[in-house]
Structures are given as C-alpha cells and as structure tokens.
C-alpha cells in the first residue's frame, strides 16, 4: 500500500467522500484504508491537525505539508476500537487518550492506556459515548512513568500552585537539580464543554466556544464562526472579516506583550513585567472602548461581528499605535541589553526542530523551532489573503528564540493593524446564518498557534457535535522534552515561554 | 550603666527598624517598576497579623520544626545586638566578635535548613540543599573578609574596627575596598536577594529561602519572616559599621554624639535601601549554578584583600 510520494487527497480519493463538508473534503475510510493511512503517515509529510470522536466514528484532520491540501479522514469503529496514530504522530497520543475518556473508543496500539481527562471523579464514565457507563467506585490511581537510576528523586508540583495560575500537576524526576524527566498531568479544569455544546443553538454555542481558553477568545470565536459559516454556506460581509482580523491582532499583541514581561519576571526581572503590564492594560482599555469588552468576548459572532468600529474608535487605535511602537521598542532594547537576563534565556529549554516537526507544533513554539506554519498564510483566510504577512522563524528553539518570535510577531501585528485601519472597507457587519444542516471546519491562527474548530449542524441549525482543538495539545508534550537536562529552577522560565493553555486542553 | 541603656536601645532599634527597612526596599522597588507600592508599614502589619494567627503544623514534623523559629530568631537577634550602629558604647560589644557573628548566623541557617527538611516535603528539601550549597560558599568568603579586616585593625571586634577606622588608622586602603566588595556579595547571598534568590517570587521551584519556610504558618511564620528582615538589617548595618562608620559615637561621647550617631545611621540605612532597590531592579536572577561563580568571586576578592595587606607590608 505504501507508494512513496503520494499527496493526501490522492490517497483519500480512493475512499468515499462525504457531501456537505466545507470548505475541505471529508472521506470515510474503511478498516483497511484507515490502517493504510497510519502506514502512509509513517512516510509522508502529513500533519495531523486534530483527532476527535463522534458517536462511534473517529475523525482525523490532516494537512499535506507539501501541497497544503487539507482533509478530514473518518472511520467507523468496529467493536469500539481503531488503529492508533500515536506511533507515527506522537502528538496525537493525548488526543487519543481524551477520545477514550470521553467516548470510550480505544486506540489499538497506543502504548499509553492511562486515562487523561478523566480522573475518575466525574460521576459517569465515557460521558459522550452512545452508551454511558457508571463511574468507577474510587478515583483512578494514576501511575507516572517509572524512572530508574541511582540517586533519583521525585518532586511533585501542583495542581495547586503558590501563584494564581491554572491548575496542572507536574511530576519531576531529578538527579540533584537536573531534570531527568518531567511528566504533566492535566484535566483538572475539565468543564465538559464538548458535552455542553451538543444540542445548543449556534448563537449560544458561539459564547461557549469563546470561553474554551479565555485569553484566545477572539481567535476561538473566529474559528467557530468560520466553521459554522462553512457548514451553513453563509458568507460574512467583507467589513466583518476586517474587523475580526483587527480584533485578532489586538488580542495577539496584548497576549504577546504580557508573555514577554511575564517570562522576564520569571527570571526575577520584574521591571519588564511592570512595563509590559502597563502596555497591555492600555490595549485592553482601548479594546473596551472600541468593542465594549476588554478581551473582546462575544464581539465575533457567526455570520459577522456584533459591533462596529466607530470613527472615534479608529482614532483611538491610531493614537495607540503611534504611542505603543516606540515604548515597545525601548523594552526590546532593554531586553537585548540586559546580559543577566539573556544569560537565563539563551540556551535554556531547547526544543529541537525535529521534535517540533514530529509533534506538529504551531505558533511561537513551532516557529522558534524552525516550523514556518501560520494559518493566516496557509490555508489563509480573509482579509489576510490580501495582505503581505511576514512569518518569523528561528532555529534555536530556546526560551530566547520564543521571546524573539513574540517580539517580531508584535511588530508584524502592529503593522497589520495600521494597514487594516487604512484599508477596511465600509459595509454591513452581519449576515444571518441560514437554518440548514452541514459540516464545517476552520483553522485560525490564535496567539498560541493554530486553533481548529470542527462543527456539525442539524437541519434545524443546532450543534450536533463541535470539537475545538487548542494548539496547546501539540505544545504541552514538547515542554516535557524541552526541560529535559535543564535544572529544576529553570522550569518556570521554560513553562512561561511555552505558555500553554490548561483550560484549552482540559475542555 | 549607660552602655546597658544603649544596648537595650540598639536591640529595640533592630526590632523596630528591620521590618521598616524591608518595607522601604519593597516600596522603592515597586516605585522603580512603575507601581504604587505597598505602605512602608505593611511588613509591620503582616507580622502583627501572622502573630495573632494559629500556626498549622504538619503531623509528620517533629519538635525541631516548632523550635526552629524561636532558635533562628534569637540567634539572629543576638547577632544584631553586637553590631554597633549608632554607638560602640554597648554592653555586648566586647562579648562577641565577627567570628561569633558568623557562627550565630550559621546556627540560624542550620536550624532553618533542618526545619525545611523536617516536614518531609519536596520543596523543603530542595530549598535546604540549595541553601547549604550557597552557605558552604558564602561562609568562607565572610570569614576571609573578617580576617582581612582584623589584620588591618588588629582586632576581630567590630567596635575596635570602628574605632580604628574613625581614629584615622587607615587612609585609602585597597584591602578595605576588596573586603567591602566581598562582604556586599556575601550579604546579597546571605539575605536571599536578587540575583541569588528572589524574595518576592511565587514560583516554588526557583525558591531557596522561601522554599524552606513554605510549611510555616501563624506565629512561626511571623518569627521566620522577622528573622529574614533582621538578617537584612544586620548585613546592612554590618557594612555601614565596618566600612562607613562615620557618625558612630565612640565611648565617652556625650548625648549629642549619640543623637548624631542615630540620625546619620538612619540616613545611611536609607541609602543602602536605595542602592539595593536600584541594583535588584536592574538585574535578573542568575542561573542557580552560577551562584558558585558569584560567591567564588567574593572569596577571591576577600583573599586578594588579605594578600594585599602582606604585600603592602613587605613593600
């Protein structure tokens, strides 16, 4: 079956396509074709963009790195089992564990049979499966991967931390100060979002998806809106696209600036956090006066946007651009001229390009390790297709590289905002979503990386199934790899430079 | 008679000013970072609040855990009592010298490290091992500074060194400069300041001193916090007394001299707070294993100071 160089669509074209899946095709693979897909993945440069279940069906979103083709492969599980992709795409491992927890579909060949999201405290087992099961009598005992050797000791950290951050458990195996292995255990803030989405009207579902990860609310809202628009065949008006991009870039800048300060703060360089917090606060306040909400929650809705940018708002933004740029450049200079700070960031927490590629990392984690992927450019969506968009890439993969990617993205986004403000066309803001069934998928660049949302609508326009996939799924495992061989005291610095979302993967 | 009075005043001054010094440094750092900053009284309020709270003690801890805060506090307070701040006319000033001071600080550190490991938490052990690594490098440097100064002044008693410096016993001395640099570096390490440790961090994994006292609460925590504040005050006062003694009243000075000593002391202390705040704001914390280079440098400087003494004598 393995033929060497095949394109993704060519391979899938032998299977049955599904009508009404937009904008990319979906194919239903039989047992042999699914196994063949696993074999093809071992030799082809196809990225797995996501893996989720629906009833007894398993879906896998794929992208051909060479041709840029995107497609979804689906497979009906017999006996509630499917061939695992984790051996050829290790980034999928936790997605498969999550599918097993939520749907009870087992990935045959996945070496890790431990539950992921389900800690045994839900009151039900397989909550989204066609046949639910009663809960276990006691919470699951979780065994961390064993590490053997002389003089090793464990340090358990979290899920409750000394600072006010999201909950996650980190288990360090150390030899003295050196980390031999880090293992993450997440799932502490599982909210049952995917279950809550089922059966909701589109407008209500949009609000839920906008809260998957609060710091990326605009990107999630855009991704959901685009998926719904694709599924229902609606096209948002031109001005709405431009306003969405404006909000997305504002969100990106606010988050990147805060990360920049917070990473420096973890090296006890508190001055940077103070300065960056002021800049972020100014941006958030302007967002509030322009769009009515500091984080611009619910400003993007399926079919368009909920509020327009007034002339005063545009003037505020222009004014902010003029003030922000020089102040930000001063901070960049301060960073670049602080040897004590660079001593901490350069060479710390290296994630190799090979690993980033293997795990399909996107966003600043991927771009700092040589992956020039950006959903705004490929597959691209309006209005970015009408603008030149630089994609900064570095090869070092250390904390310093991830800081510089952020710095360059902030610069690029400031330019983009300026261009959006000058080129934004007038016009309506919203088109109604027609009430009809269908399936849609969208890929949107949030500040962390590519956010994927897949949605299936019923004939009456309600959500049958919606799956939001956070970019952090493919970044959390890389943090484990990046910290290896570093010292325990450098973990906060590495962790902050990845800044993965807990809520986004806990769902 | 008056020596006892001034001694009591000295101890009261240590207790009264130590939280204020910490508060001042915190406030200055906040201002430098563009924040409003907490009130100067906040450390006093924190200590008052903690003292009224019931301590929660782990079931797995021993008597050592409960004893350590008192032991640490008393050892550092005693050390604070023998450093002349506004006068050398003190009862205890002849009772203990700089070597005893190093020993008293060592006792406090030893107790803190044991207490950190006592409850058996991972962070306590982590902090204790880091603290001991730092101490094993800081103490030799501190002792070397002591030797350098005592060779110069002919005594290890702080009061005698003050008298020697004020009496015009030295001009511009290279050894004094090297010793000052070394003692400052040791002081930064011993008091857990940036770039060695970050007293304001919430990141458990990067903590040194804070990791050892993570398990403490209530009045135990108050005593541990007070010990930390006293230690900062002590090192600030030690640097002032050994290298900037001008203004300190010598025995036989009148009431006016004492008053002058008090005023100049408070001004000098505020100066140290400003210097510390500016330094801490302008630098990031160093990678843990760089601490060895840093303190090795301090030891080397102090050693050079001693060698220079012999060299200048030989010439």
- Asked whether the beta carbons of residue B283 and residue A161 sit closer than 8 angstroms, the reply is no
Tokens of A361: 């990392």
Instruction: Assess if residue A497 is contained within a domain.
Output: no
Q: Which residues of chain A make contact with B283, given a CB cutoff of 8 A?
A: 269, 338, 340
Identify whether residues A408 and A261 lie together within a single domain: yes
**Is A205 among the domain residues?**
yes
Q: Which of B34, B287, B294 to mutate to test the interface with A (most CBs of A within 10 A)?
A: B287
| Angle, CA A476 vertex, CA A474 and CA A480 arms, to 5° | 120
- Select from A266, A271, A490 the Cβ nearest to the Cβ of B33: A271
Q: Quick one: A92 and A202 in the same domain?
A: no
Domain with A274, as residue range(s), is 198-470
The CA distance from A322 to A329, in Å, is 12
Residue A322 contacts residue A248 (beta carbons within 8 Å): no
Residue A491 resides in a domain: no
Tens of pLDDT, residues A376-406: 998 889 899 888 888 999 999 999 999 999 9
Residue A225 located in a structural domain: yes
Tens of pLDDT along B223-271?
A: 999 999 999 999 999 999 999 888 888 887 788 888 999 999 999 999 9
- Out of B35, B200, B205, name the one closest to residue A489 (CB): B205
Most confident of A364-368, B55-59, B193-197: A364-368
Alpha carbon distance A452, A95 (integer Å)? 13
Asked whether residue A179 is assigned to any structural domain, the reply reads no
Residues of B in contact with A161 (CB under 8 A): 202, 204
Q: Domain check: are A104 and A213 in the same one? A: no
B217 touches A at CB < 8 Å: no
Q: Residue B202: its chain A contacts at CB < 8 A?
A: 161-163
Of A80, A108, A136, the last residue of a domain is A108
Of all residues in chain B, the one with the smallest CA distance to A340 is: B284
Please name the residue ranges forming H helices in A72-151: 93-103
Chain B's closest residue to A348, CA to CA, is B287
Say if A255 falls within a structural domain.
yes
What distance in Å separates the CA atoms of residue A186 and residue B17, rounded to the nearest whole number? 46
Give me the CATH number covering residue A248.
1.10.645.10
pTM of the model: 0.89
Q: Does residue A122 fall inside a structural domain?
A: no
B289·A274 Cβ contact <8 A: no
**Cβ(A507)–Cβ(A191) below 8 Å:** yes
Beta carbons of A268 and B288 less than 8 Å apart: no
Do A433 and A310 belong together in one domain? yes
Asked if residue A417 and residue A280 are part of one domain, the reply reads: yes
Q: Is B278 on the interface with A (CB under 8 A)?
A: no
Of the candidates A108, A125, A141, which is a domain's last residue? A108
Indicate if A203 and A88 belong to the same structural domain. no
Q: What is the mean pLDDT of chain B?
A: 90
pLDDT range class, residue A1, cuts 50, 70, 90: very low
Count the domains in chain A: 2
Do A280 and A408 have their domain in common? Answer: yes
- A97 and A234 together in one domain: no
B132 touches chain A (CB under 8 A): no
Q: What is the DSSP letter of A379?
A: I
Domain end residue (candidates: A60, A90, A108): A108
B212 contacts B127 by C-beta, under 8 angstroms? yes
Contact B283 A340 (CB under 8 A): yes
For A177-218, how does the pLDDT look when each residue is reduced to its tens digit (9 = 90+)?
889 999 999 999 899 999 999 999 999 999 999 999 999 999
Statement to judge: residues A235 and A90 lie in one domain: no
| SS percent in chain B: helix, strand, coil, step 5 | 75, 0, 25
Residue B148 phi/psi, 5-degree rounding, is -60, -45
- B204 interfacial to chain A (CB closer than 8 Å): yes
Residue A57 lies in a domain: yes
What is the interface size between A and B, counted as CB pairs within 8 Å? 82
Which residues in chain B are contacts of A275 at CB distance < 8 A?
A: 33-34
Residues A317-329, mean pLDDT to the nearest whole number: 93
User: Which 8-state DSSP code applies to residue A209?
Assistant: H
Residue A292: phi and psi, rounded to 5, are 85, 0
Q: What is the mean pLDDT of residues A142-169?
A: 86
Looking at residue A392, its pLDDT comes to 93
């Amino acid at each position: 079956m393995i033929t060497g160089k095949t394109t993704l669509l060519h391979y899938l074209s032998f299977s049955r396509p599904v009508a009404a899946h937009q904008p990319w095709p979906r194919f239903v693979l039989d047992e042999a074709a699914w196994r063949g897909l696993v074999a093809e993945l071992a030799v082809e440069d196809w990225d797995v963009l996501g893996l989720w279940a629906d009833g007894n069906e398993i879906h896998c979103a794929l992208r051909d790195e060479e041709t840029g083709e995107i497609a979804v492969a689906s497979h009906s599980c017999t006996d509630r089992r499917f061939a695992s992709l984790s051996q050829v795409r290790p980034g999928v491992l936790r997605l498969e564990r999550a599918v097993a927890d939520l749907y009870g579909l087992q990935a045959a060949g996945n070496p890790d049979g431990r539950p992921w999201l389900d800690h045994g405290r839900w009151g039900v087992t397989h909550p989204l499966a066609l046949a639910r099961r009663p809960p276990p009598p006691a919470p699951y005992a979780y065994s961390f991967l064993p590490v053997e050797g002389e003089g090793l000791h464990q340090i358990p950290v979290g899920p409750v931390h000394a600072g006010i951050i999201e909950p996650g458990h980190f288990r360090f195996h150390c030899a003295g100060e050196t980390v031999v292995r880090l293992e993450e255990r997440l799932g502490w803030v599982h909210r049952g979002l995917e279950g809550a989405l089922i059966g909701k009207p589109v407008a209500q579902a949009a609000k839920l998806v906008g809260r998957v990860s609060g710091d990326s609310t605009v990107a999630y809202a855009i991704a959901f809106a685009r998926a719904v628009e694709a599924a229902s065949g609606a096209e948002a008006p031109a001005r709405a696209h431009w306003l969405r991009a404006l909000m997305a870039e504002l969100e990106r800048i606010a988050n990147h600036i805060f990360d920049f300060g917070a990473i420096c703060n973890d090296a006890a360089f508190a001055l940077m956090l103070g300065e960056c917090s002021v800049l972020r606060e100014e941006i958030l306040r302007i967002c509030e006066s322009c769009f009515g909400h500091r984080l611009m929650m619910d400003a993007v809705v399926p079919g368009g946007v909920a509020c327009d940018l007034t002339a005063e708002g545009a003037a505020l933004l222009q004014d902010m651009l003029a003030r922000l740029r020089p102040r930000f450049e001063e901070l960049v200079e301060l960073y670049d001229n602080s040897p004590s700070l660079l001593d901490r960031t350069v060479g710390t927490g290296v994630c190799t390009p090979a690993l980033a590629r293997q795990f399909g990392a996107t966003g600043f984690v991927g771009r700092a390790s040589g992956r020039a992927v950006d959903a705004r450019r490929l597959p691209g969506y309006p209005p970015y297709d009408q603008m030149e968009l630089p994609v900064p890439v570095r090869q070092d993969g250390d904390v310093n590289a991830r800081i510089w990617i952020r710095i360059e993205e902030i610069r690029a986004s400031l330019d983009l905002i300026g261009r959006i403000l000058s080129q934004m066309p007038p016009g309506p803001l919203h088109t109604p979503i027609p009430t009809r069934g269908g399936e849609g998928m969208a890929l949107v660049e949030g500040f962390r990386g590519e956010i994927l949302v897949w949605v299936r609508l019923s004939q009456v326009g309600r959500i049958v199934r919606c799956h939001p996939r956070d970019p952090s799924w493919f970044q959390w495992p890389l943090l484990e790899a990046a910290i290896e061989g570093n010292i325990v005291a450098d973990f906060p610095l590495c962790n902050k430079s990845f800044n993965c979302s807990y809520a986004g993967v806990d769902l | 008679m008056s020596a006892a009075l001034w001694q009591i005043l000295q101890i009261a001054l240590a207790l009264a000013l130590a939280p204020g010094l910490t508060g001042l440094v915190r406030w200055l750092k906040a201002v430098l970072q563009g924040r409003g900053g907490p009130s100067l009284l906040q450390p006093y309020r924190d200590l008052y609040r903690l003292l009224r709270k019931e301590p929660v003690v782990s079931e797995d801890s021993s008597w050592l855990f409960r004893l350590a805060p008192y032991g640490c506090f008393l050892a550092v307070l005693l050390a604070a009592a023998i450093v002349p701040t506004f006068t050398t006319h003190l009862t205890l000033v002849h009772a203990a010298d700089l070597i005893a001071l190093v020993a008293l600080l060592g006792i406090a550190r030893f107790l803190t490290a044991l207490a950190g490991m006592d409850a058996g938490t991972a962070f306590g052990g982590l902090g204790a091992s880091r603290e001991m690594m730092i101490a094993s490098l800081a103490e030799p440097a501190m002792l070397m500074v002591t030797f350098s100064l005592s060779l110069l002044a002919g005594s290890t008693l702080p009061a005698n060194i003050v008298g020697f410096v004020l009496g015009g016993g030295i001009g511009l001395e290279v050894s004094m400069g090297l010793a000052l640099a070394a003692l400052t570096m040791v002081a930064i390490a011993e008091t857990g300041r940036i770039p060695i440790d970050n007293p304001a961090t919430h990141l458990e994994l990067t903590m040194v001193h804070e990791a050892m006292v993570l398990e403490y609460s209530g009045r135990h925590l108050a005593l541990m916090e007070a010990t930390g504040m006293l230690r900062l005050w002590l090192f600030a006062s030690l640097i002032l007394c050994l290298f900037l003694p001008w203004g300190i009243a010598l025995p036989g000075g009148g009431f006016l001299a004492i008053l002058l000593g008090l005023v100049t002391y408070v001004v000098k202390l505020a100066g140290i707070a400003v210097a510390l705040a500016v330094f801490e704001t302008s630098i990031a914390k160093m990678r843990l294993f760089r601490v060895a280079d840093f303190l090795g440098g301090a030891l080397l400087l102090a050693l050079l100071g001693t060698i220079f003494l012999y060299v200048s004598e030989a010439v």
